[in-house]
Amino acid sequence: MSDDSTLLGVVILTRHGDRQGFYQDPDSYTASGTVITPLGTVQEYQLGQKLRSLYLNASSPTDLAGMSHDVVNASQISVSADAGGEGGVIFDSAVSLMQGLFPNTTSYNTTLANGTTVVGPLGGYQYIPIESVEPDNDISLEGWTSCSAFSDWTYEFYNSSAFQQKASENADFLGQLPPYLDGRPVSLENMIFDFMNVNWIHNEEFADAVPEEYLAQARALANYHEYGVFTSPEVDGIGNIAGRTVLPIILEGFASIIDSSDPTQLVYTGVSYKPFLSLFNMTQAAEMHSNLEAIGKTMDYAASVVFEVRETSDGDHVLRFNFKNGTSEDEFTSYPILGQDGDVPLSTFIDRLAPAAINSTADWCQACGNTKDRGCAALTKAANDAIAAHSDTISPVGAGFLGAGLTIVVMLAMFGVLLFMGVLTFGRRTASRKQKETSSVDVKA
Ligand SMILES: *[C@@H]1O[C@H](CO)[C@@H](O)[C@H](O)[C@H]1NC(C)=O
Ligand SMILES: *[C@@H]1O[C@H](CO)[C@@H](O)[C@H](O)[C@H]1NC(C)=O
Ligand SMILES: *[C@@H]1O[C@H](CO)[C@@H](O)[C@H](O)[C@H]1NC(C)=O
């Protein structure tokens, strides 16, 4: 692609490194019991070094010259990592990657009043602030868990005629697997590719026993399975929930980068493979590039997408979408997206994707049909309390809301009421008790 544009900053999404001991529920995709391995930390560290050679390197054509290269300037970066079911693995991956991106340096030092200079431990190891994103209070990096609309979608997919046909075509193959898997039941729904892959990498006995073509076939089935689950025919479909909840981080990253008064130039988010699948679907990357199409779970560990935010000589903002498939590829490749030939105008990206973004917990509760988990209970209760507390002042409309109960359609309206009541409550809370009584009289009057 032509390089008459200037690089302003990068938004990076990265899959975690190699890990062991993994199980996820085939319906809800809630993960448990997993830990990063030394190999995984090496993969992420190398990816960090690669990113450094591209973006924090004065002799690279994509150098971010405005950024502090050696000692990190925390105001120039924004780093977050999923801290959910695979959280330890993803968070540790982010730590390893940051060590490669901002390695130890004796420049990380301080000179004391008595003239002594102290270098940080481990040769000037730098402690990069990483925001751990806990799924209980932030839906952005694991939008699919506790989401019944998403569970319904996976159920629908498993019951589709295409899926059933795929399952029956592969029934013989699947039937041959249990002896290699300590008798674990195998079906296309509960595709055990991950178990096989982990053992293929770490368990010599398993790697010797299982024919290589079995792993390849299981990989192909996992591809089919995961792409079907984590995508949707509509950009704003529930199957794309993993991409829709991470989009605000990406869009805010773009906004910070093009805002010349905001020093942020590098935004990094550590995730699992799921947001990649949705984003590859939503950006048409999968549709436009056959090698990205069959990505599924077979995307390598430490795979990474980098959105380069650029300014053209005409002053327009464009995006360049780069992908590297983990350690199996040495270099990032640029892939046109959204039906464009080259870089995609930022405005096109925003027009096409922003409407599908899930921007708040309330939006998420509504999209998923949840009134009890991940903050939805508090939102629902607050809406109810606000209505109950003021039902005298807002009836008969409020009474109507209460009577309608907690259906999802009404919930949306209630969030609106909550906002409205919130304004009233705020004004009163700051006022004295006497004024409060007066104001409530005023409201009644
Ligand atoms: C200066 O202070 C540091 C920290 O208290 C101490 O370790 C060091 O020995 C002092 N240096 C001198 C020359 O007194
Ligand atoms: C997204 O995935 C769905 C399957 O869930 C598929 O029907 C659709 O064509 C894909 N869209 C694009 C743009 O690749
Ligand atoms: C990524 O690499 C794996 C093997 O290392 C391969 O099976 C898969 O097809 C690759 N995916 C892409 C999108 O290149």
Residue 24 has a pLDDT of 57
Residue 45 has a pLDDT of 97
Whether 98 contacts 56, CB under 8 Å:
no
- 82-108 pLDDT per residue, tens: 998 777 899 999 999 999 999 999 999
Question: Which has the higher per-residue pLDDT, 24 or 260?
Answer: 260
Report how far ligand 3's centroid is from the alpha carbon of 154 (Å): 24
- Measured CA to CA in angstroms, residue 340 lies from 1, 29, 254, 345, 348 at distances of 12, 33, 19, 9, 10
**Looking up tokens 């109960």, which residue turns up?**
405
**Is residue 177 in some structural domain?**
no
Question: Which has the higher per-residue pLDDT, 236 or 417?
Answer: 236
Q: What CATH number does residue 112 fall under?
A: 3.40.50.1240
Q: Which residues contact 64 (CB under 8 A, 6 or more apart)?
A: 7, 9, 10, 55, 56, 265, 266
Same domain, 301 and 405: no
Q: Collapsing DSSP states into helix, strand and coil, what is residue 344?
A: strand
Kindly state the average pLDDT of the residues 424-439.
Answer: 31
Q: Collapsing DSSP states into helix, strand and coil, what is residue 373?
A: coil
Same domain, 304 and 377: no
Question: Which has the higher per-residue pLDDT, 187 or 166?
Answer: 166
Report how far ligand 2's centroid is from the alpha carbon of 293 (Å): 10
Report how far ligand 2's centroid is from the alpha carbon of 408 (Å): 27
Question: CA nearest 10: which of 315, 307, 350?
Answer: 307
> d(Cα 434, Cα 440) in Å, to the nearest integer?
10
Ligand in closest contact with the CA of 234: 2
> d(Cα 430, Cα 279) in Å, to the nearest integer?
44
Same domain, 18 and 105: yes
Pocket lining: 231 vs ligand 2, CB cutoff 6 Å: yes
Residue 294 has a pLDDT of 64
**Is residue 73 in some structural domain?**
yes
- List, chain by chain if needed, residues with CB within 6 Å of any ligand 1 atom: 112, 114, 116
- What are the structure tokens assigned to 118, written together? 């102290």
Q: Which domain holds residue 368?
A: 361-421
> d(Cα 242, Cα 279) in Å, to the nearest integer?
8
Pocket lining: 284 vs ligand 2, CB cutoff 6 Å: yes
441 — pLDDT class (breaks 50, 70, 90): very low
Query: DSSP letters along 254-307, please?
Result: HHHHH-TT----EEEEEE-SHHHHHHHHHTTHHHH-HHHHT-GGGSPTT-EEEE
Chain-centroid distance of CA 4 in Å reads 31
409 — pLDDT class (breaks 50, 70, 90): very low
Pocket lining: 281 vs ligand 2, CB cutoff 6 Å: yes
Q: Rounded mean pLDDT of the chain?
A: 84
Same domain, 106 and 31: yes
Residue 33 has a pLDDT of 66
Ligand in closest contact with the CA of 117: 1
Range with lowest mean pLDDT among 1-5, 81-85, 231-235, 326-330: 1-5
Question: CA nearest 146: which of 335, 361, 308, 407?
Answer: 361
Alpha-helix residue ranges (DSSP H) falling in 106-211? 121-124, 148-158, 161-169, 171-175, 193-202, 204-209
Same domain, 375 and 350: no
Range with lowest mean pLDDT among 18-22, 29-33, 48-52: 29-33
- Which ligand 3 atom minimizes the distance to the CA of 223? 9
Report which protein residue has its CA nearest ligand 1's atom 3.
116
End residue of a domain, out of 304, 324, 358: 358
Question: CA nearest 26: which of 166, 183, 184, 187?
Answer: 187
Is 158 a residue whose pLDDT tops 80? yes
Is 27 a residue whose pLDDT tops 70? no
Residue 388 has a pLDDT of 82
**Kind of pairing, strands 266-271 and 6-15?**
parallel
Q: Provide the domain count of the chain.
A: 2
Look up the pTM and report it: 0.83
Residue 25 has a pLDDT of 59
Whether 254 contacts 309, CB under 8 Å:
yes
Whether 217 contacts 327, CB under 8 Å:
no
- What are the structure tokens assigned to 240, written together? 């794309």
End residue of a domain, out of 339, 358, 377: 358
Same domain, 318 and 382: no
Is 417 a residue whose pLDDT tops 50? no
What totals of helices (H) and strands (E) does the chain contain, helices first?
20, 14
Residue 30 has a pLDDT of 60
Question: CA nearest 220: which of 297, 163, 135?
Answer: 297
- Which ligand 2 atom minimizes the distance to the CA of 232? 5
Pocket lining: 239 vs ligand 2, CB cutoff 6 Å: yes
- 287-303 pLDDT per residue, tens: 998 888 766 556 788 99
Whether 303 contacts 291, CB under 8 Å:
no
> d(Cα 150, Cα 145) in Å, to the nearest integer?
8
Residue 91 has a pLDDT of 95
Report how far ligand 2's centroid is from the alpha carbon of 280 (Å): 9
Is 63 a residue whose pLDDT tops 90? yes
Same domain, 332 and 406: no
Q: Which of 109, 110, 111, 112 to mutate to test the pocket of ligand 1 (most atoms within 8 A of CB)?
A: 112
Residue 23 has a pLDDT of 56
Kindly state the average pLDDT of the residues 277-295.
Answer: 87
Report how far ligand 2's centroid is from the alpha carbon of 341 (Å): 20
Q: Which residues contact 153 (CB under 8 A, 6 or more apart)?
A: 229, 232, 237, 238, 239
**Is residue 210 in some structural domain?**
no
**Is residue 442 in some structural domain?**
no
**Looking up tokens 């079906």, which residue turns up?**
187
> d(Cα 45, Cα 136) in Å, to the nearest integer?
29
- Measured CA to CA in angstroms, residue 296 lies from 187, 215, 226, 351 at distances of 17, 14, 5, 27
Same domain, 106 and 239: yes
**Is residue 76 in some structural domain?**
yes
Residue 311 has a pLDDT of 97
Kindly state the average pLDDT of the residues 304-330.
Answer: 94
60 — pLDDT class (breaks 50, 70, 90): very high
Q: Which of 109, 116, 118 to mutate to test the pocket of ligand 1 (most atoms within 8 A of CB)?
A: 116
Report how far ligand 2's centroid is from the alpha carbon of 231 (Å): 6
- 217-275 pLDDT per residue, tens: 888 888 888 889 999 999 999 999 999 999 999 999 999 999 999 999 999 999 988 99
Residue 28 has a pLDDT of 59
Same domain, 50 and 98: yes
**Is residue 162 in some structural domain?**
no
Report which protein residue has its CA nearest ligand 2's atom 5.
232
Task: For the chain, give the percent of residues with pLDDT over 90.
Answer: 55
> d(Cα 371, Cα 107) in Å, to the nearest integer?
51
**Is residue 77 in some structural domain?**
yes
Amino acid residing at 138? D
> d(Cα 62, Cα 55) in Å, to the nearest integer?
6
204 — pLDDT class (breaks 50, 70, 90): confident
**Is residue 426 in some structural domain?**
no
Report how far ligand 3's centroid is from the alpha carbon of 193 (Å): 14
Same domain, 353 and 365: no
Q: Which of 193, 299, 321 to mutate to test the pocket of ligand 3 (most atoms within 8 A of CB)?
A: 299
End residue of a domain, out of 317, 333, 358: 358
Same domain, 414 and 318: no
Q: Which of 328, 329, 333 to mutate to test the pocket of ligand 3 (most atoms within 8 A of CB)?
A: 328
Same domain, 15 and 58: yes
Residue 186 has a pLDDT of 82
429 — pLDDT class (breaks 50, 70, 90): very low
Amino acid residing at 399? A
- The listed range with the strongest mean pLDDT (53-62, 378-387, 398-407, 425-434) is 53-62
- List, chain by chain if needed, residues with CB within 6 Å of any ligand 3 atom: 291-292, 294-295, 298-300, 325, 328
